[in-house]
Amino acid sequence: MKINLYGDSEFLDLREYENIVLYGAGALGKELLNALHANNISVSSIWDKNADSLNAISINDKFYKVEQPFSGHCNPSTTLVICAIISIETYRSVSAWLISSGYKNILRGAYIYMSLVCLQTRENLNIKECKTNPLCTPVFCDKVKSFLRPTALSAGRGCLELDEIDVRINNVCNLKCKHCNQYITQIKLSKKIIMNSGQLIDDINLLFSAIDYVNNVNIEGGEPFLNKDLDKVLNVLVKISNIGFIQIITNAFIDIPDQYANTLRNPKISLLISNYEKYATEREMTILQNNLKFLSKHDIAYHIYGKDDHWYEVPEVVHRSKDSEQCRRDFARCCVKQNILWNGRFYACLMTPAIDNLTDFDFPTDYVDIRKYGKLELKDLLVAFKNNTEYMQSCQYCGFAEPRTISIAGEQA
């Protein structure tokens, strides 16, 4: 059977593979297993690092045992691994790990979901349904992007089109997550910043005037609701026509002001709520429940991370004495490439702003200082920056390409 890979001109023929392995036995994994079974596609194995605590999955009286990764006798060169992982960062880490273990044929489970499960069409697109479905990641959904993307936009040499940009509005948080990938708990007080709305809005207007289209803008911190000007920033972003939609990433342990209701109801906006209930205090849980009632009352789109979500331990930010070849390999397989706007700088990597926040080092070639340029000059610089294939100075400090231990999501320091 052939699967339509949205965004690609070709189809993937599942019959080309001797074995099909499903990696991930959570909610998405079960949904994909049902869809594959309904389409007479045989799954050889189901892998999950938590296999020892999981029961077999039953589909129409057929039982699938959940096993530890690499169980069975699958030839890596003739095996397709479908990663049923919702978190894009976790998917990138797992896929890098699988590749380093010899498995080259890896497919995001989202493509199976788009092709065999999702019923959305261009004519009847319900973006709120996308944003509130816990199995969907509309940020990285090529199907939704193909519906929202302006038809007149042509992808050429000078076109700057991005899946997403993280707009950071502060680097402070009400929590102390042990393995925060922004290293928030390690930032010195002297480097803590809550962006003022005037400068931030100027940065936003300049950056997005130089970009042709962005499928999704993530508003994040730290904790974004600690910035009292959040609603002003959102009201600017929703008016920018070359943005598909906007997602606020929050732990929801901060009271959402009542006056935000009209802004948050905008069809472009949704909230992605991190599920840290395991470590929440009684007071935080009360605030969370009140916020959920507020969002439901005002018909504001949101969804909550899966309760079984996990993180990976964050590597220490130290000089790692890599040679040039190691830096090139790590850059090529990097799992933390992200577009980030923070304090007037455009970054293409999670590590570089962390280095800026934690140290006194400055690597000007690893970011674009957008405040130095006008719209036309900035666009040319951003296109060249995004097309860069050479490793960055930050790669010398990055340990994200190395094997990392699984940690519990939201574990507090």
SS3 per residue for 245-271: EEEEEECCCCCCCHHHHHHHCCCCEEE
Are 19 and 65 in the same domain? yes
Residues 148/246, Cβ–Cβ less than 8 Å = no
**pLDDT for the residue numbered 1:** 58
CATH number of the CATH domain containing 88: 3.40.50.20
Are 395 and 282 in the same domain? yes
Are 72 and 215 in the same domain? no
For residue 10, count other CB atoms closer than 10 A to its CB: 8
Q: Which of 383, 342, 387, 391 is nearest to 366 (CA)?
A: 391
pTM for this model (two decimals): 0.82
Residue 162 belongs to some domain of the structure:
yes
Pair of tokens at residue 27: 């909610």
Q: Which of 185, 160, 163, 162 is nearest to 172 (CA)?
A: 185
- What pLDDT, in 10s, does the model give residues 182-234? 999 999 999 999 999 999 999 999 999 999 999 899 999 999 999 999 999 99
Q: Which of 171, 178, 247 is nearest to 215 (CA)?
A: 247
**pLDDT for the residue numbered 171:** 96
Strand partners, 107: 82
3-state secondary structure of 210: coil
**pLDDT for the residue numbered 2:** 64
**pLDDT for the residue numbered 260:** 97
**pLDDT for the residue numbered 363:** 95
The domain in which residue 181 lies consists of 149-408
Low-confidence ranges of the chain (pLDDT < 70): 1-10, 138-140, 151-157, 306-309
CATH number of the CATH domain containing 221: 3.20.20
Q: Which of 328, 331, 350 is nearest to 339 (CA)?
A: 350
Amino acid residing at 17: Y
What is the DSSP code (8-state) at residue 177? B
Residue 131 belongs to some domain of the structure:
no
Alpha carbon 249 to chain centroid distance?
10
Instruction: Describe the chain by its helix, strand, coil percentages, rounded to 5.
Output: 35, 20, 45
- What pLDDT, in 10s, does the model give residues 11-49? 778 888 999 999 999 889 999 999 999 988 899 999 998
Amino acid residing at 163: D
Residues 175/251, Cβ–Cβ less than 8 Å = yes
Q: Which of 342, 288, 1, 348 is nearest to 172 (CA)?
A: 342
Are 6 and 90 in the same domain? yes
Q: Which of 167, 227, 197, 193 is nearest to 357 (CA)?
A: 193
Are 101 and 187 in the same domain? no
**pLDDT for the residue numbered 408:** 77
Residues 398/299, Cβ–Cβ less than 8 Å = no
Are 74 and 153 in the same domain? no
Are 112 and 157 in the same domain? no
Residue 123 belongs to some domain of the structure:
no
Which of 100, 116, 132 is where one domain is finished? Answer: 116
Split into its structural domains, the chain has a count of: 2
Residue 125 belongs to some domain of the structure:
no
Alpha carbon 161 to chain centroid distance?
17
**pLDDT for the residue numbered 175:** 94
